[in-house]
Every structure is written in structure tokens, then in C-alpha cells.
Amino acid sequence: MTTTVARPSTIEADPGGTPLRRAGNWARRAPLLPALIFMIIVTQLPFVGTLVISFMNWNAYYPDERGFAGIDNFVRVLTDVNTRDSIITTIVLTASVVLISLLLGMLIALLLDRTFLGRGVVRTLMITPFLVVPVAAALVWKHALYNPEYGLLNGLLTGIFGGGAIQPDWISTMPLTSVVIALVWQWTPFMMLILLAGLQGKPLDVIEAAQIDGCSNWQIFRHMTFPHLRQYLELGGLLGSIYIVQNFDAVFTITSGGLGTANLPYTIYQTFYNAQDYGRASAAGVVVVIGTILIATFALRTVSSLFKEEAR
Amino acid sequence: MTATAEASRTAAADTASRTRRKRSGAVLGVVAWIVGILFVLPVVWMLLTSFHSENDAATNPPSFFAPLTLDGYANFFGAATGASPWPPLLNSITASVLSTALVLLLAVPAAYALSIKPVKKWTDVLFFFLSTKMLPVVAGLLPVYLIAQGIGMLDNIWLLIVLYTSMNLPIAVWMMRSFLAEVPGEILEAASMDGCNLTRTLRTIVMPIVLPGIAATSLICFIFSWNELLFARVLTATVAQTAPVFLTSFVTSQGLFLAKVCAAAVVVSLPVLIAGFAAQDKLVQGLSLGAIK
């Protein structure tokens, strides 16, 4: 191995370098290259493909009409009411699930960050929702819990209030809320785990001193625990957003994208899989990517600052 | 908490606030239990329903104490329709295990080049990996479909293995980097100067730090691959169908199918539940991309 050549950082200060040194640099890069090349081929090239197709008139049902479409697809996507609705749905769905599960996750993490009988058991109970396969969880919510005739929710209503109890059709009366509740149920444990780990790293000695000085629990939370938790809240919010903005399983299973719950992933899937309109699906994909880049730039800055703190 | 810490605290606080705190502590413990039970209730209901007969599963009010039966599981395993769930389950196992192995094969060397002997601009590379995670998979789905169609890879499990590898590789690189960053560089240098060979350095210094990282990474990659639905739904049909896709095929069923669906949900979730319960601390490390140890 030639790695012995490139050792201390003094070499890096030297610009250009001899052939031997250049070989050393490549020896450093070598372990990285397979992963990097793999990622570029599998994740970046398809986006180039999406970009190309987005300017094409291409519907698999009409193969003869394939050709250059200019910006037609983008005009159609951006003026289409369905797309605009699905953009709004995506934002509402992601924001509400992330915020509610962060808040619940924090409250539950605070509850679990104390000693009480059976704490380990409660923690295990809390993790369970996250470990149910998402599509299985969505099926159970739809059929075993929300179902108006024999779901558990209405069953409990009958059990408690008798035969005359109201029997709401949960999914048709509040479709988006139903999806949000099922997702919050799955993601609260995720947030709770990250925040609990954060809480367990908080400075105990300082908090103990504050308690002795007569600070109220609220003061301790507001001025010590919460600032300490902030970076964990940011981490949880960021990672949660990455996953929930792409949610497909719950929307697909619980409402099949109906009743105003179609988010962007579902709409694109629909345009491509059912309508076979490749041009428009790609244009929608490009719009999503541009939107995501805008959000991701902001999000990456957050991670980047976290990362610098870690490095310190 | 140690007894001395407890003692010093109680000595400082006056008796009244101590009893108040103790009482509120007990109340909060009960609240925690209630919340935990509420969260696990849907899973318990799923489990209970899976052991009920179809008729008992679809009653209102619910029949909590109906006799237990394995009919739901028998139906899921094809007693009624003859459609065996084993091919999809085996496909899921193949895709999850092989993609996880491939991820580790690519991620460990990459993480090495980003931590122990870092390349120039290694933070940029690290953020490139993370940024691929932010681009929605759905936006690249169509070209992947068309390419797979062109080279005859549709409905082939290897296509899913490659895609799941790309899906999990960024997470794995981040996690493995954060673990490898803990390997003490000076000790490695000293070992190589003392003529310690590479195998021995790896075994005695690197492995004890890296193996827990590999375990956490594998767990997360396995879970995410096992759960994936969108790619599997679009890119597979009958041959390479995975367990989540097989599950969605029950949605269209007519008549009573609740016990069967719950049994299916239990069977498909079981590997993830077992792995997750067995390695709860690894789960946290993985979910936070290694930021929390």
C-alpha cells in the first residue's frame, strides 16, 4: 500500500506536488470512489433523465406523438389545480406531522427522563409503533381502527355510549387528519428516541444546583433543558421532514390519494403509473426537486452548524 | 442515580417540597404508563384481531374476549386462496440482506476515507451523500423504470437491491464516519511504526470501535429496505414482488378480511420488531445518523 506516502498535513500545504505525492492523494481517494461513483450513477443520472423527459411530449398511451414539448409540461404542471393542491397538501402534511410528533415526542421524552417503576417497559412500548412496517401500520389504521362499521374507534364508542353512539366515518369526514394521526403515531417514537437521548446528555450538576437554588421546574426547563435540547429538536425535525415529505405508504393505503390527500409523491406516481404521461410526471418531478433543493439548502445549513458543534 | 446524590439533594430540599415532588413524580409515572399503553394499543389490537376469526374480528362493539384461533394466519399462508406469501417474504429477505451487505461493502471504505485518512474537502463529500437523501426518490422513478425496462431488469430483485443500496448508502456513510472518527489516529500511527501489521491493527484497535457501528448501520439499512414500498410497487410484478407489495394486494379484497390482514401485518412486521427490540440503543444511533452514541 502506498498510503504511507501521504501522512501528515504538511503535505497538503504544498501545491501541485510530485507524481509520488499525487499517487498518495489518489490512494487516499481510492476507498471513497466506489461509493461515490455508485451514488452518482444510481441517484444523479436518473435526475438528468427526468430533466430531459420533462421537456418532451411523451405519453406511453400515444407512442407516435413523442417529441420535443418545450416548457409545455411545466406550464401544465404549474397551472394544474391538482398539482397546486398536492403541493399544499405535501406542505400541510409534512409540517403538521413533524411539528405534532416533535411536540408529543418531547413531552413523552420528558416523562421518560425520570425514574419510575417500569420505565424500560414503557420505553419499549413507546418504540413499538415505529417498528411496525409502515404499509402494515397504514392497513391496520384504515381497516382495524378507522373503519366506520367494525373499526376499534367506533367499536369503543358503541361500547362506552351504547347502541345510539355516534359512528363517524373517520376517513371520509376528515381524510387528511386521519393520515396525519396515523403518521404522528408512527413518528412520535422516532422523535422521542432522539430527544430522550438528548435529555440524557444534559448537564445534571448544573440542573441540580438550580434546583437547590430554588428554581422552579418550568424555569429549569425554559432556560436549561430546552436550550440543550434545541439541537436535538433540529435534528429530529430535519430527519423527520426528509422522510415524511416523501411519504407514499400512508397516503396510498389509507385514502388512495382521494379526498384531497394526494401529496406530491402520490400525484407523480399517479401521473406516471396510471396516466402514463411521462412528460408531465417528469416535469412535476423537476418541480419537486427544485422545491426540495430550496428547503434542503436551508436544512443542510442546520445540519452543518450541528456538525461544527460536534467537531468542536 | 446514586444514593449519595439522592441524599444530598433531599438534604437540601425541605420536607414539604420533597413529599410534593414525590407525589407529582408518582403521578407523572402513571401518566407515562398511560401514554405508553395508548401508543401500543393499535399494535395490541392488531395482534388480538389476528388471532380472532373473521366474524369475531368484524363486530361492533368489538369482541375482546372472542375465542382465539389461528385461522387468520392459516389464511395468510394461503389456506383459502392458495397464494403463498413465501415468495414475497423471501424476496424481501433477499433484497434487505443483500442490499445491506452491499451498503457496508461500499460505506466502510468510504467512511475510512472521510475520517481516518480524510481526503481534501471531505465535508463536501459527506454533504453530497446527505443531499442525495433529500432529493425525493419519486422524482427519479420514471428514468429508473424506463432504463430497467430497456435492459430487461423490471420485476428483477437485483434492481431493488441496487436501488435500496443507493437509498441507504448515504445514511451508512454518515453513521460509519461518525464511528470511525472515534478511532484514535495516533494509536494507529504508533502501531504502524512499531511494525504492527495491518491485520493486527484492525483486529485489536479498529474492530472494537467499528463493530458496534456496523451493527447499528446494518439494523437501520435492513429496516428501511424491508419497509420500502414505492420502488417495489412500481418496479416489480409477480416474480420479484416484496412483502409490503404483497400486503397492499389485500386492500382490494372483498368480504371479511380483517383477521387475515392483521395476521399478515404481524408476520411482515415481526422481523423488524424483533431486530428493533433486541437493539434499542443501536436504533437511536442509527436514526440520528450516528450523531447520538
Same domain for B11 and B130, yes or no, is: no
Give the gap in angstroms from C-alpha B59 to the nearest C-alpha of chain A.
Answer: 5
pLDDT for B13 beyond 60:
no
- Span B131-155, average pLDDT: 82
Considering B74, B98, B114, which residue would you say is the last residue of a domain?
B74
Q: Which of A166, A151, A168, A147 is nearest to B61 (CA)?
A: A151
pLDDT at A308 over 70: no
Q: Residue A2 falls within a domain, yes or no?
A: no
Assess if residue A219 is contained within a domain: yes
DSSP 8-state class, residue A58 = -
Residue B2, pLDDT above cutoff 60: no
A70 located within any domain: no
Residue B21 makes CB contacts below 8 A (sequence gap 6+) with B13
Q: Is residue A10's pLDDT more than 60?
A: no
> Is there a domain that residue B293 lies in?
no
The residue among A151 and B251 whose pLDDT is bigger is: A151
pLDDT band of residue B59 (cuts 50, 70, 90) is confident
What whole-number distance in Å separates Cα of residue A255 and Cα of residue A237?
25
Show the cell assigned to B262: 392483521
> B238-253 b/e with 16+ CB inside 10 Å = b?
eebbbbbbbbbebbee
**What's the rounded Cα separation, in Å, for the pair B6 and B85?**
55
- Cβ contact A92:A176 at 8 Å: yes
| Most confident listed range (A281-285, B34-38, B50-54, B287-291) | B34-38
Mean pLDDT of B8-28: 65
The yes-or-no verdict on residue B95 having pLDDT over 90 is yes
Same domain, B69 and B89: no
Candidates A14, A83, A132: best to mutate against B (most CBs of B within 10 A) is A132
For residue B14, what is the DSSP state?
-
Question: Is the predicted pLDDT of residue B287 greater than 70, yes or no?
Answer: yes
Share of chain B above pLDDT 90, in %: 21
Residue B80 lies in a domain: no
Residue A187 confidence class, pLDDT cut points 50, 70, 90: very high
Name, in order, each residue with C-beta under 8 angstroms of B283's C-beta and a sequence gap of 6 or more: A127, A193, B216, B219, B220, B276
DSSP state of A275: S
A6 pLDDT band, cuts 50/70/90, is very low
Average pLDDT over residues B241-255: 76
Q: Kindly state the greatest CA–CA separation across chain A.
A: 87
A:B CB pairs within 8 Å:
317
Residues B39 and B89 in one domain: no
C-alpha distances in Å from residue B7, one per residue of A70, A205, B4, B25: 76, 14, 5, 17
Q: What percent of chain B has pLDDT over 70?
A: 87
CB contact under 8 A, B40 and A129: yes
What are the pLDDT digits (tens) for A196-253? 888 887 777 777 888 888 888 888 888 888 888 888 888 888 888 888 888 888 888 8
Evaluate whether residue B229 is within a structural domain: yes
Half-sphere exposure of A292 (CA within 13 A, CB side): 27
The reply to whether B171 falls in a domain is: yes
Residues 6+ apart with CB under 8 A from B233: A252, B244, B245, B248
Buried b (16+ CB within 10 A) or exposed e, B149-171: eeeebbebbebbbbbbbbbbbbb
Q: How far apart are alpha carbons A92 and A245 in whole angstroms?
A: 10
Question: ipTM of the assembly?
Answer: 0.83
Predicted local confidence at residue B39, as pLDDT: 93
CA distance A78 to A287: 9
Preceding peptide of B118 cis, ω within 30°: no
Mean pLDDT over A176-201 rounds to 90
| Same domain flag for B9 and B127 | no
Among partner residues B229, B262, B273, which is closest to A248 by beta-carbon distance? B229
Report residue A5's pLDDT band, with 50, 70 and 90 as the boundaries.
Answer: very low
Q: What is the pLDDT of residue B174?
A: 87
Measured between alpha carbons, how far is B15 from B9 in angstroms, rounded to an integer?
11
| Chain-chain contact of A136 with B163 (C-beta, under 8 angstroms) | no
Q: Is residue A29 part of a domain?
A: no
Instruction: For residues B286 and A299, give the distance between their C-alpha atoms in angstroms, rounded to a whole number.
Output: 19
Q: What is the mean pLDDT of residues A136-160?
A: 86
> Which value, to the nearest 10 degrees, does the dihedral of the CA atoms of residues B168, B173, B179, B183 take?
150
Q: Identify the DSSP state of B66.
A: P
Q: How many domains does chain B have?
A: 2
Q: Which domain holds residue A220?
A: 87-311
Q: Measure the CA–CA gap between A157 and A163, rounded to whole angstroms.
A: 9
pLDDT at B15: 63
pTM summary value: 0.84
pLDDT mean over B13-22? 63
Range(s) of the domain holding residue B43: 2-74
Whether the CB of A272 is below 8 Å from some CB of chain B: the reply is yes
End-to-end CA distance of chain A: 32
Whether A6 has its CB under 8 Å from any CB of chain B: the answer is yes
3-state class (DSSP) for residue A277: strand
**Dihedral angle sign, alpha carbons of residues A190, B224, B137, A186:** negative
Please, which pLDDT band fits residue A11 given cuts at 50, 70 and 90? very low
CATH number assigned to the domain comprising residue B224? 1.10.3720.10
Q: Using the beta-carbon criterion (under 8 Å), do B60 and A47 form an inter-chain contact? A: no
pLDDT for B254? 60
Pair type for strands A56-57 and A67-68: antiparallel
Which tens digit of pLDDT belongs to each residue from A291-307? 777 776 776 676 666 65
Contact B265 A155 (CB under 8 A): no
Q: Cβ B60–A121 below 8 Å, yes or no?
A: no
Chain A residues inside the 8 Å CB shell of B135: 43, 47, 289, 292-293, 296
Instruction: Give the C-alpha separation, A39 to B128, whole Å.
Output: 10
Is A66 part of any domain? Answer: no
Closest CA to B9 of A211, A122, A157, A152: A211
Mean pLDDT score across all residues of chain B = 82
Residue A42 lies in a domain: no
Q: Are residues B51 and B151 in the same domain?
A: no
Q: In this predicted model, which residue has the larger pLDDT, A6 or A79?
A: A79
Residue B271 shares a structural domain with residue B159: yes
A208 and B5 in contact by Cβ < 8 A?
A: yes
pLDDT given for residue A74 in this prediction:
79
Q: Which of B74, B107, B135 is the last residue of a domain?
A: B74
Q: Is there a domain that residue B276 lies in?
A: yes
Question: Roughly what angle, to the nearest 10 degrees, separates helices B122-134 and B157-180?
Answer: 140
The answer, yes or no, to whether residue A129 has pLDDT greater than 90, is yes
A95: in domain? yes
- In this prediction, residue A9 has a pLDDT band, given cuts at 50, 70 and 90, of very low
Residue A13 located in a structural domain: no
- Residue B102 · residue B165 · CB < 8 Å: yes
Q: Are residues B16 and B91 in the same domain?
A: no
Give me the mean pLDDT over the B27-34 stretch: 89
> Are the beta carbons of B159 and B153 closer than 8 angstroms?
yes
Structural domain includes residue B108: yes
- The helix (H) or strand (E) run that includes residue A68 is strand A67-68
Q: Work out the average pLDDT over A114-142.
A: 89
Mean of per-residue pLDDT scores for chain A: 80
Do B50 and B108 fall into the same domain?
no
- CATH number reported for the structural domain that contains residue A189 in this entry: 1.10.3720.10
Do B39 and B184 lie in a common domain?
no
Phi, psi of A59, rounded to the nearest 5 degrees: -125, 125
pLDDT tens track for A77-99 = 778 887 888 888 888 998 999 99
**Residue pair B153/B269 in contact by the 8 Å Cβ criterion:** no
In degrees rounded to 5, what are phi and psi of residue A277?
Answer: -90, 90
Flag whether pLDDT at B104 surpasses 90.
yes
B79 assigned to some structural domain:
no
pLDDT exceeds 50 at position A144: yes
> Quick check: B183 pLDDT over 90?
no
> Rounded distance, CA B81 to CA B253, Å?
11
B69 and B118 within one domain:
no
Residue B149 has pLDDT above 60, yes or no: yes
Chain B CB contacts of A34 below 8 Å:
106, 109-110
Same domain? For B174 and B205 the reply is: yes
Q: Which three cell numbers stand for residue B265?
A: 401485518
CB nearest to A133's CB, from B162, B226, B234: B226
Q: How many folded domains does chain A comprise?
A: 1
Asked if B103 and B237 sit in the same domain, the reply is yes
Residue reference for cell 406550464:
A75
Pairwise CA distance, residues B236 & B159, whole Å: 9
Could you say which of B48, B74, B100 is where a domain stops?
B74
Of the listed ranges A131-145, A214-228, B187-201, B241-255, the least confidently predicted one is B187-201
Q: Choose, out of A7, A52, A140, A235, the residue to mutate when testing the contact with B (most B CBs < 10 Å).
A: A140
**How is residue A116 written as a grid cell?**
419510575
